[in-house]
Amino acid sequence: MFDTKIAIVLRNNLASWQKLNVTAFLMSGIAGQNPEMIGEPYRDRDGNLYNPLSIQPIIVLAAEDEVMTAIHRRALERGVASSLFIEEMFSTGHDAANRAVFAEYGPQDAKVVGIAIRADRKLVDKITKGAAMHQ
């Protein structure tokens, strides 16, 4: 059992490719800020080596626009570091452009399509209240 919990919340009206893209981007932010959560490399029976993976489970949730905004606000109010993906980032093609468009918005007008957090289990549950298991 882990003291922390990783939750990724996606806006429920995204296209399949967007859900996958956003999930990958958000999880890379969590892993980048928490290198201790990455385990040892995997090795198959034939000796082929594979990248290490997260040592703890990751829950993926879905929510309506209003709930996404509330989750974003709760994370900020509680000082929980998060990975955030806004709608406008879909129109960019690289990291510098993502950061530039991201900087044009604040919490009050950001169209959040995905957020990922890793914190104390109970705190994550409070922050993500209103989101449901992703289907």
pLDDT digits (tens, 9 = 90+) for 47-105: 999 999 999 999 999 999 999 999 999 999 999 999 999 999 999 989 999 999 999 99
Domains of the chain: 4-133 (3.40.1490.10)
Provide φ and ψ at 45, rounded to 5°. -55, -35
Give the CA distances from residue 88 to residues 59, 95, 102, 112, in Å, rounded to whole numbers and listed in that order.
25, 13, 8, 9
Question: pTM here?
Answer: 0.94
pLDDT digits (tens, 9 = 90+) for 96-134: 999 999 999 999 999 999 999 999 999 999 999 999 998
